[in-house]
Structure 1
C-alpha cells in the first residue's frame, strides 16, 4: 500500500514541478533528482543515504514560497519512513 501511495505522490511532484516555472534551474534540477532517486526505489536501486535528509531540507526551504511542493515532499518523506527508507 505505501508503494502505491509513493507512486501517487511522485506523480503529484512531477505534475507540480511542470506547473512551477518560477523555480530556478538549480532547484528544479534538485527536485527532479529527488524524484528520480525515489523512482529508483521501485526498481530496487539503492537510494542515496541522505535522501530523507535532503527531502526534509527541501520541505523547510519551500514552506513559504512553494507550499504545494512542500506538502508533497512532506508526504513523500512520511511514506518513505513507513516503508523503511
Structure 2
C-alpha cells in the first residue's frame, strides 16, 4: 500500500493496474532482501476473495508498535500517518 505515496515506486502506473514489482527491503538488518509482489487495487483483492467463495473475517491496516519509535523514529512517524501494509483474514 505504501508505495502509492511515493512516485519513485509507482512510476507511470495507476492505482487501478495490476502489475508485478519488487524492491530491496531495508530496515530489518542485513541482508536487504529483494521482495517481489503483485500490486492490485483493494477492490480486486477483496472482491477476488469473496468471488471465490471466501468470507471476509477481518481487514486490518496495522499501525507500528510503540517500541519502533525508539528504533526508527522517521519510519515510525510515516507509518503512524498512513498504512504500508494491509492484512486480510478470510475463511472458506
- Range of TM-score over shorter length: 0.3 to 0.5
TM-score of the pair, normalised by structure 2? 0.34
TM-score of the pair, normalised by structure 1? 0.36
Q: Which has the higher helix share?
A: 1
Q: Which has the higher strand share?
A: 2
Larger Rg: 2
Which has the higher relative contact order, 1 or 2, with Cα contacts under 8 A spaced 6 or more apart? Answer: 1
